[in-house]
């Protein structure tokens, strides 16, 4: 989740401020509901009771994301290292088409080391594409197909104009807030991480705005925030609104010229560079820590899986990812040995979906588990507003309509009451497979940092970590078997929960996902131990997925 409400800022202009609620333990997502009182994955219980003394195989997990800080203290020793590549020699030693791809690849850069950071949303890109084609055209003279595109062009023009009108005052407001807090920090004259409550209480200024900022900071620190947290939130608010206005919904902005390719030419695969960190690796680093931050090293936090290598594949900018990049990222991960791929991103349109479908089929044929976050709109998703997804636009391999290696994930929090389902999480009783922890998730961020973040972006790597755990200790399981085990072992949740996106409407968890349950690593490992693996040996070392095609089925549910 890229943005949250900033009650702190509102306190500058009103008399009230919402204090931080009691937080769950930093490792709550690894805890057990019965033993510890938190609906986590029971990870710690799994290692103590079921996996003690056992040794698993190393599993490569690809993180298709914004980038990963591969030098992070809790990740550097578990980063995937390409065995066929010599670092920094400027040669494609392993002849895979990518020069110096030591820890993965960056599809958002060029050979000169320049990188794309901000991007349009897909609606903006499609508007620009259709505008070039239909501006000034007489709709009465268009074909039926062209008229459909023309109508979309007109609709998108209205959407973008309305959104920019809404964003402008917020961008102006948060620019002023950012300036005020930055000025306060400068006048305070103390390193950000060293600021204490006493420092703020002792601050004095003749500037009324500075004193209002000091009051807001004081209340936030009293509520459990650090000054560094406060400033991070200020920056996030500033970046969010200005980013939406300047880049995401700006038809005049074009970042793709940096790469110099044709983004609609989906057959072009050899572009980018080896900079897998990129300009902002916060999101991808956080995701990677959840999957496999080194366990038991007494540093920061413990990831889910204990024997993984993180392959960083950068394809997600600050804006909507492009289908071409997603398809190529999946293929790169599969070709270079990943058996689990995490995808914590999504968008509302997919003009080159056929290319993504082909890459998903490619992964399915090579027995790779794909895990995808359902999104953070607090709404019911469909096959027409949530991409990528597991439904193929056209039936392909043996008539399969769905990718049987795909797991769609919703997010839940640490509470055991009606607030269990995260209020932002997307849901669907047919399309979302299982819910996993995605609220108050403490994990790695760049420069040896750690931070709480939330979203289905955090829930997906919980499942990816669990899938890696199963593939490590039970390597004969196929991707489909891993998915089935994760779903069949999900903890049923009988208590009704508040439906995401609503104030107080309660529903059963079965109305929010296929399983109606929560990810449980302990139960998954128990079931895996009782399951005979169906993986078949192949020349490439990967097995073919088994099972019949069709919609997702878990026991009697569909």
Residue 388: asked if its preceding bond is cis (omega within 30°), the reply is: yes
**CATH 3.40.50.200 domain residues, the chain:** 39-119+255-529
Confidence of residue 205 (pLDDT cuts 50, 70, 90): very high
Residue 12 pLDDT greater than 60, yes or no:
no
* Residue 541 clears pLDDT 80, i.e. is over it: no
| 39-119+255-529: CATH superfamily | Peptidase S8/S53 domain (3.40.50.200)
User: Does 548 score more than 50 pLDDT?
Assistant: no
Q: What's the pLDDT at 2?
A: 39
Distance, in Å, from the CA atom of 304 to the CA atom of 260, rounded to the nearest integer, reads 39
pLDDT of residue 15: 33
The pLDDT confidence band at residue 57, using thresholds 50, 70 and 90, is very high
Q: What are phi and psi of 14, to 5 degrees?
A: -145, 170
Q: pLDDT grade, residue 536 (50/70/90)?
A: confident
pTM: 0.91
Residue 294, pLDDT above cutoff 60: yes
Average pLDDT of the chain is: 92
Which tokens go with 378? Answer: 């607090």
pLDDT for the residue numbered 543: 36
Strand partners, 507: 497
* DSSP tag of 50: T
Task: Determine contact, residues 108/279, Cβ cutoff 8 Å.
Answer: no
Asked if the model's pLDDT at residue 7 lies above 70, the reply is no
Does an H or E element contain 106, and which? strand 104-106
pLDDT of 557 > 90? The answer is no
pLDDT band at 482 (very low <50, low <70, confident <90, very high): very high
Question: What is the average pLDDT across 99-113?
Answer: 97
DSSP structure class, residue 416: S
Q: Inform me whether the pLDDT recorded for 29 exceeds 90.
A: yes
Report the range of poorest mean pLDDT among 5-9, 177-181, 260-264, 432-436: 5-9
Looking at residue 394, its pLDDT comes to 84
> Rounded to whole angstroms, how far apart are CA atoms 378 and 407?
19
Radius of gyration of the chain (CA): 24
pLDDT band at 396 (very low <50, low <70, confident <90, very high): low
Mean pLDDT of 56-77: 98
Query: Is it the case that residue 231 has pLDDT exceeding 80?
Result: yes
Sort residue 552 into left (φ over 0), alpha (ψ -120 to 50) or beta. beta
Residue 400 binned pLDDT confidence (cut-offs 50, 70, 90): confident
- Count CB-CB contacts under 10 A for residue 230: 24
Percent of the chain with pLDDT over 70: 91
pLDDT at 399: 67
pLDDT value at residue 398: 56
- What pLDDT was estimated at residue 49? 97
19 — pLDDT class (breaks 50, 70, 90): very low
Given this model, what pLDDT does residue 1 score? 36
pLDDT over 70 at 6, yes or no = no
More confident residue, 347 or 543: 347
Please give the pLDDT value at position 535: 86
Sign of CA dihedral 519, 285, 384, 419: positive
| Mean pLDDT in residue range 377-397 | 90
Contact criterion met (CB below 8 Å) for 65 and 283: yes
What integer pLDDT is reported at residue 380 of this predicted model?
A: 98
CA dihedral 74, 280, 282, 421 (to 10 degrees): -150
């Amino acid at each position: 989740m890229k943005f949250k409400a900033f009650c702190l800022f509102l306190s500058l202009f009103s008399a009230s401020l919402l204090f931080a609620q009691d937080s769950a333990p930093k490792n709550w997502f690894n805890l057990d509901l019965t033993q510890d009182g938190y609906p986590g994955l029971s990870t710690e219980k799994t290692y103590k009771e079921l996996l003690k003394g056992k040794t698993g195989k190393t599993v490569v997990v690809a993180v298709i994301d914004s980038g990963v800080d591969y030098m992070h203290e809790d990740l550097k020793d578990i980063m995937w290292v390409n065995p066929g590549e010599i670092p920094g020699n400027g040669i494609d030693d392993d002849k895979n088409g990518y020069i110096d791809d030591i820890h993965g690849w960056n599809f958002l850069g060029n050979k000169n080391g320049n990188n794309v950071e901000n991007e349009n949303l897909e609606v903006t890109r499609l508007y620009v594409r259709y505008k070039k084609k239909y501006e000034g055209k007489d709709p009465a003279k268009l074909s039926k197909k062209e008229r459909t595109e023309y109508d979309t062009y007109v609709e998108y023009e209205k959407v973008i104009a309305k959104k920019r009108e809404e964003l402008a005052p917020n961008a102006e407001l948060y620019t002023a807030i950012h300036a005020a807090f930055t000025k306060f920090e400068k006048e305070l004259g103390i390193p950000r991480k060293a600021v204490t409550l006493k420092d703020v209480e002792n601050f004095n200024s003749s500037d009324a705005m500075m004193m209002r900022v000091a009051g807001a900071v004081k209340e936030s620190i009293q509520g459990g925030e650090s000054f560094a947290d406060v400033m991070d939130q200020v920056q996030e608010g500033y970046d969010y609104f200005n980013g939406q206005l300047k880049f995401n919904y700006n038809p005049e902005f074009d970042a793709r010229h940096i790469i110099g390719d044709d983004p609609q030419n989906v057959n072009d695969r050899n572009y980018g560079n080896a900079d897998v960190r990129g300009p902002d690796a916060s999101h991808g680093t956080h995701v990677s820590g959840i999957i496999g931050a080194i366990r038991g090293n007494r540093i920061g936090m413990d990831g889910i899986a204990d024997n993984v290598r993180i392959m960083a594949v950068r394809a997600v900018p600050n804006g909507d990812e492009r289908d071409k990049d997603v398809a190529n990222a999946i293929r790169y991960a599969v070709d270079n040995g990943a058996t689990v791929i995490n995808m914590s991103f999504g968008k509302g349109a997919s003009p080159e979906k056929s290319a993504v479908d082909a890459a998903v089929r490619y992964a399915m044929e090579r027995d790779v588990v794909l895990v995808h976050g359902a999104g953070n709109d607090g709404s019911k998703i469909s096959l027409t507003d949530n991409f990528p997804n597991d439904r193929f636009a056209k039936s392909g391999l043996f008539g399969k309509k769905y990718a049987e290696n795909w797991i769609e994930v919703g997010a839940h929090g640490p509470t055991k009451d009606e607030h269990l389902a995260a209020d932002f999480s997307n849901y669907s009783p047919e399309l979302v497979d299982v819910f996993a922890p995605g609220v108050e998730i403490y994990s790695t961020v760049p420069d040896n940092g750690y931070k709480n973040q939330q979203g289905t972006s955090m829930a997906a790597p919980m499942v990816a970590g669990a899938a890696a755990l199963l593939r490590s200790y039970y390597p004969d399981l196929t991707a489909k078997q891993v998915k089935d085990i994760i779903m069949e072992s999900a903890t049923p949740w009988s208590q009704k929960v508040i439906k995401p996106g609503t104030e107080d409407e309660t529903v059963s968890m079965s109305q929010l996902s296929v399983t109606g349950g929560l990810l449980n690593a302990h139960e998954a490992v128990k079931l895996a131990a009782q399951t005979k693996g169906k993986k078949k040996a192949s020349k490439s070392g990967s097995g073919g997925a088994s099972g019949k095609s069709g919609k997702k089925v878990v026991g009697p549910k569909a």
